[in-house]
Amino acid sequence: SNFCPGSIPAHILEQTRKHPCYSVEVHHQFARMHLPVAPGCNIQCNYCNRKFDCVNESRPGVTSEVLTPALAFEKFRWVKEKIGELTVVGIAGPGDALADWQYTRQTIERIKAVDDSIVFCLSTNGLLLPEYAQEIVDVGIHHVTVTMNALDPEIGAQIYKFVSYQGKRYQGVAAAELLCRNQLAGIQYLTERNVLVKVNIVMVKGINDRHIPDVVKKVKALGVFITNIMPLIPAPGSAFEHFAQTSMKEINEMRNLCELDIQQMRHCKQCRADAVGLLNEDRSSEFRMCNNPDNQ
Ligand code: CLF
Ligand code: SF4
């Protein structure tokens, strides 16, 4: 069933209107912060070099300080005091937000206990959604991003080097099949429970580019809110290191095509896992915990 705003409770749509990634018209008005509490990852994307932040929600070449939930809570209080227009707290790595779910959950619970106006958001590769989607709903997260690059396992096999799941390592077509199955089941579970799901797609020329419209149609049918087609920015040291960066011309042509099916995000900044501020003014360097006056 396609996304239908009429079926979403008013208090959730109220949150969406304050979310700078989901509501383009407020992205100069409201700020988000990412708390980098999730260092681990359970898959290996060929475009990722683990030394950097998760490429699914960020550009390569930058590394964020990893925080414990306790330090992340202190950072939230510091930033909230300085940036009044902060509305959204997101967990976007630097690995996968669900691979370290206990850290992600503890961070959100601590903040929620002191501030009930914050909108929580997370970004994941989706592998562990079947395990944690209900907890995501229970904890009160209504905005989730899943990066999904392929439905066809032959194409997925060219994007993912391996998938580690329930103590077993999968490769090739088996890895891509498993990841895709969990992503689709997880997305459907969330949309059926009024979570607004955004699907990020990394466009890799010659690999998944011509397959993207199929991915978009499929996730639209699962009730996804918006898709965000992003350029591949080849990470140094990754398997795709020598691939060409997808041009914005190519990205925009693909977005124009896919917009016939579902609304497209066009203002993504491919943020760092510790991004702070308005989408177009990253203040992460100002808000390193090592600069926190309370920490000196
Ligand atoms: Fe962060 Fe992502 Fe939530 Fe936004 S970012 S977890 S949905 S609060 Fe936004 Fe940044 Fe693009 Fe992500 S501009 S990389 S889409
Ligand atoms: Fe890297 Fe993110 Fe892929 Fe994990 S999900 S391998 S951190 S890009």
All structural domains of the chain with their residue ranges: 5-284
Mean pLDDT of 172-192: 98
Q: Which of 123, 201, 225, 281 to mutate to test the pocket of ligand 1 (most atoms within 8 A of CB)?
A: 123
Encode 37-71: b = buried (16+ Cβ within 10 Å), e = exposed.
bbbebbbbbbbbbbebbbbbbbbbebebebbebeb
The predicted pLDDT at position 246 comes to 86
88 within ligand 1 shell (Cβ under 6 A):
yes
Nearest CA to ligand 1 atom 2: 123
Q: Which range has the worst mean pLDDT, 55-59, 175-179, 192-196, 262-266?
A: 55-59
Q: Which range has the worst mean pLDDT, 44-53, 54-63, 112-121, 265-274?
A: 54-63
Strand ranges of the sheet holding 119-124, from the earlier edge strand across to the other edge: 226-231, 196-203, 143-147, 119-124, 86-91, 31-34, 276-277
Work out the percent of the chain whose per-residue pLDDT is above 70.
Answer: 99
Candidates 196, 171, 192; CA nearest to 121 is 196
Mean pLDDT of 66-81: 96
The band of 253, judged by pLDDT with boundaries at 50, 70 and 90, is: very high
| Residues 23 and 17 sit within 8 Å (Cβ to Cβ) | yes
What CA dihedral angle connects 12, 35, 283 and 24, to 10 degrees? -20
Question: What is the distance in A from the centroid of ligand 2 to the CA of 181?
Answer: 18
Nearest CA to ligand 2 atom 3: 45
Work out the percent of the chain whose per-residue pLDDT is above 90.
Answer: 80
228 within ligand 1 shell (Cβ under 6 A):
yes
Domain 5-284, CATH: 3.20.20.70
Q: Is the pLDDT confidence value at 80 over 90?
A: yes
Structure tokens at 28: 């100069």
Q: Which range has the worst mean pLDDT, 37-46, 230-239, 269-278?
A: 230-239
The band of 193, judged by pLDDT with boundaries at 50, 70 and 90, is: very high
The predicted pLDDT at position 61 comes to 67
54 within ligand 2 shell (Cβ under 6 A):
yes
Encode 167-181: b = buried (16+ Cβ within 10 Å), e = exposed.
eeebebeebbbbbbe
ipTM of the complex: 0.95
